[in-house]
Chain A
Amino acid sequence: MEEKYLSRHFGIDKAYNLDVYEQQGGYSTLPKAFAMDTDAIIAEMKKSNLRGRGGAGFPTGVKWGFMPRDSDVEKYLVVNADEGEPGTFKDRMIMELDPHRLIEGCVMTAWALGLRTGYIFVRGELQLAIRRLEVAIKQAYEKGYLGKNVLGKGLDFDLYVHSSAGAYICGEETGLIEGLEGKPGQPRMKPPFPAIVGVFNKPTLVNNVETIAAVPFILEHGGEHWASMGIERNGGPKLYGLSGHINKPGVYEAPSGITVRELLERFGGGMREGSDLKAFIPGGSSCAVLLPESLDAQMGFETLREAGSSMGTGCITFMDQTTCMVRLSARLAHFYHHESCGQCTPCREGTGWAYKVLNAIEAGQGTPDDLALIQDMITGIAGNTICAHGDSLVIPVRSYIEKFGQEFEDHVQNKRCPFPRWRKMRNTQRMSA
């Protein structure tokens, strides 16, 4: 087994407490980090090939480099802990089991970029994560890892937990900023980007939980070491959440570039008895679906793009032969409709319409025109919205139709769904004649 980094403490009892965390060597890298200056830290981050772990995969070191260096300006760190991409459940583990890791990463990031205030934006449902983080932050303040003059190095850094209240769209970084400001999480037009105008109209760095949690390791062992545990342009070990029709669902740490097959077989315990792999989604529901023939694709942003999908959050959902792809696409359309902030027209109206049409097809009430209509409709959404939420519906739906077109046509032709029910689908909207 490879050495564990991000999940090192997951099996250790009460690692969420400061004393246990310190016994394990926690916070011991802080002095080393504090001995480095901004340029040196950003250089290590760039060398590490760490890519944003929230799904977009933007190189973290480059993003850090966008932050203004002017030390007089108030600048903010916001940790995106609004984990909600269907299929994704990895950040929660870090916050619940190893909250000090995240805090330590925040302190290092604050030091690197001269940030004086940080907020961890946690989705409100993750109450356990919030409680663990709040206790951990309190402990860190008491030990002088947070607050005024951290470790006597002149860094003043306050860190708070911000509890959200139920809106997937806040995972989009400018929607998150709006939510942090107390407003509906409606994503902002860009430019300006958060590094210039972010929360409270100040420069803001928004990074995912897993991204920030990687910082202490990168600064401890160096960027090159991190990069070595991966493939080209995708550095470091990663937390992979595996779920679906598999034997051992869960969160597992493995290097970047590991194949889907290895994750499924070595960690996920393979498909369940009687289950044959029909398809999988490599990084959360907004990624294109892939067929078993892509099992040897490596988990990386470029490699999965070549395979016809995307890395996303790196949390993979495996589906067996009982899964109706029409129903799944309708269910995901329901999700993106429910979570659309409603700000811009194509997403607000298109997601709901797509859901209604897909649901009708699944229920055996589709017409031959509906398949063309769906294609047309999602083309009208694609790229025409303020944020990527609309595309998060377009990409999967397009892929389901492309890869399982026959299933859609069969539903229309036979006027019924041949797959076992998930019991009843909710919110079924009957088409008028």
Chain B
Amino acid sequence: MALEFSDKSEDKFNEIVARYPDTHAALLPVLLLAQSEFGWVSVEVMDYVATRLNLNPAKVLSTATFYTMYNKQPVGKCHIQVCTTLSCALNRGYELLELFEDRLEINVGETTHDYGYTLSEVECLAACGTAPMFQVTWSDGEIEYFEDIDPDKIDGVLEKLNARLSDLPDTRRMH
């Protein structure tokens, strides 16, 4: 099935491309747009983006694999990314990560069987004053910060996350 941006994404695509003197420069934001539209950045998505931006697909590959926010495989509807770098490490960040592992019954780097959650450990997210914290990338592309988390109240946090899951698309079926 050939990929195609929705009308809304197409408008956004045109707006992004218009910002730059060449199409290559639009690659980073367009790949993020494509990820929110198609769930994850597959080879097919890279190829589509390359075609749309008139780029050598090898250039798209190098950029898509260099930056960490592009998922090169399907992830859960709720992609939990726990910071463990500096202030978060000092402030129970690892504990938070382990609690997520425990509750979701997966190891860091893994996805639940129903593709509801993926758990990742990430580097500093510029929220050191509100450590520990984590970031969620929802499968519709939205990114949300959850700061100043009390690891002892992890179950309440997960309840909030759970509440959103049913409204979200399964990244495996987004293209």
Stretch at the interface among B2-10, B17-25, B110-118, B164-172: B17-25
Q: Does B157 contact A (CB under 8 A)?
A: no
Interface residues of A (CB under 8 A from B): 83-89, 91-92, 119, 123-128, 160, 162-168, 179-185, 200, 241-245, 249-251, 281, 285, 315, 317, 319, 323, 328, 331-332, 335, 338-339, 341, 422-426
A335 touches B63 (CB 8 A): no
B66 touches A250 (CB 8 A): no
Contact for A182 among B24, B127, B142, CB less than 8 A: B24
B26 touches A182 (CB 8 A): yes
Count of B residues near A, CB < 8 Å? Answer: 47
Contact partners of B25 in chain A: CB under 8 A: 180-182, 200
Contact partners of B129 in chain A: CB under 8 A: 89, 241-243, 249-251
A84-B126, A91-B126, A200-B25 known; 9 new pairs, CB 8 Å cut-off, are A88-B124, A125-B69, A127-B145, A182-B24, A281-B86, A285-B85, A335-B85, A423-B97, A426-B97
B19 touches A165 (CB 8 A): no
**A25 CB → nearest B CB, Å:** 27
A87 touches B123 (CB 8 A): no
Contact partners of A184 in chain B: CB under 8 A: 62-63, 66-67
Contact partners of B62 in chain A: CB under 8 A: 183-184
Interface residues of B (CB under 8 A from A): 19, 21-22, 24-29, 31-32, 59, 62-63, 66-70, 84-87, 89-91, 93-95, 97-98, 108, 121, 123-131, 135, 142-145
A163 touches B32 (CB 8 A): yes
B94 touches A423 (CB 8 A): yes
The 3 closest A-B pairs by CB, nearest first: A182-B27, A166-B68, A184-B66
**A124 CB → nearest B CB, Å:** 5
**Chain A to chain B contacts (Cβ below 8 Å), 17 pairs:** A88-B126, A89-B127, A125-B125, A127-B143, A127-B144, A162-B19, A162-B28, A168-B124, A181-B22, A181-B25, A200-B22, A241-B128, A243-B128, A244-B91, A285-B124, A331-B89, A422-B95
Contact partners of B22 in chain A: CB under 8 A: 181, 200
Question: In the bound complex, how far is the Cα of B124 from the Cα of A75, in angstroms?
Answer: 32
Query: Smallest CB-CB separation from A319: which chain B residue?
Result: B90
Question: In the bound complex, how far is the Cα of B129 from the Cα of A119, in angstroms?
Answer: 27
B86 touches A183 (CB 8 A): no
Contact for B28 among A163, A317, A319, CB less than 8 A: A163
Q: Count A-B pairs with CB separation below 8 Å.
A: 157
Question: In the bound complex, how far is the Cα of B67 from the Cα of A119, in angstroms?
Answer: 19
Contact partners of B84 in chain A: CB under 8 A: 331, 422, 426
Q: Contacts A86-B128, A163-B29, A164-B28 hold; do A317 and B87 have CB atoms under 8 A apart?
A: yes
Query: Smallest CB-CB separation from A327: which chain B residue?
Result: B89
**B136 CB → nearest A CB, Å:** 10
B142 touches A127 (CB 8 A): yes
Q: Contacts A162-B28, A182-B28, A331-B85 hold; do A125 and B128 have CB atoms under 8 A apart?
A: no
Contact partners of B90 in chain A: CB under 8 A: 244-245, 317, 319, 323
A84 touches B86 (CB 8 A): no
Question: In the bound complex, how far is the Cα of B62 from the Cα of A107, in angstroms?
Answer: 34
B123 touches A124 (CB 8 A): no
Question: In the bound complex, how far is the Cα of B22 from the Cα of A125, in angstroms?
Answer: 24
Contact partners of A164 in chain B: CB under 8 A: 28, 67
A89 touches B126 (CB 8 A): yes
Question: In the bound complex, how far is the Cα of B91 from the Cα of A423, in angstroms?
Answer: 11
Contact for A423 among B28, B67, B95, B142, CB less than 8 A: B95
Q: Contacts A165-B68, A285-B86 hold; do A87 and B128 have CB atoms under 8 A apart?
A: yes
Contact partners of A180 in chain B: CB under 8 A: 25
Contact partners of B24 in chain A: CB under 8 A: 181-183
**A317 CB → nearest B CB, Å:** 6
Contact partners of B67 in chain A: CB under 8 A: 124, 164-167, 184-185
B28 touches A179 (CB 8 A): yes
**B156 CB → nearest A CB, Å:** 20
B94 touches A165 (CB 8 A): no
A165 touches B142 (CB 8 A): no
Question: In the bound complex, how far is the Cα of B97 from the Cα of A164, in angstroms?
Answer: 25
Question: In the bound complex, how far is the Cα of B93 from the Cα of A425, in angstroms?
Answer: 11
Contact partners of B123 in chain A: CB under 8 A: 84, 86, 168, 335, 338-339
B94 touches A249 (CB 8 A): no
Question: In the bound complex, how far is the Cα of B21 from the Cα of A403, in angstroms?
Answer: 50
**B97 CB → nearest A CB, Å:** 8
A165 touches B86 (CB 8 A): no
Contact partners of A87 in chain B: CB under 8 A: 86-87, 124, 128
Contact partners of B124 in chain A: CB under 8 A: 84-88, 168, 285, 335
Contact partners of B89 in chain A: CB under 8 A: 328, 331, 422
Q: Contacts A86-B124, A168-B123, A179-B28 hold; do A244 and B69 have CB atoms under 8 A apart?
A: no
Question: In the bound complex, how far is the Cα of B123 from the Cα of A317, in angstroms?
Answer: 16
A86 touches B86 (CB 8 A): yes
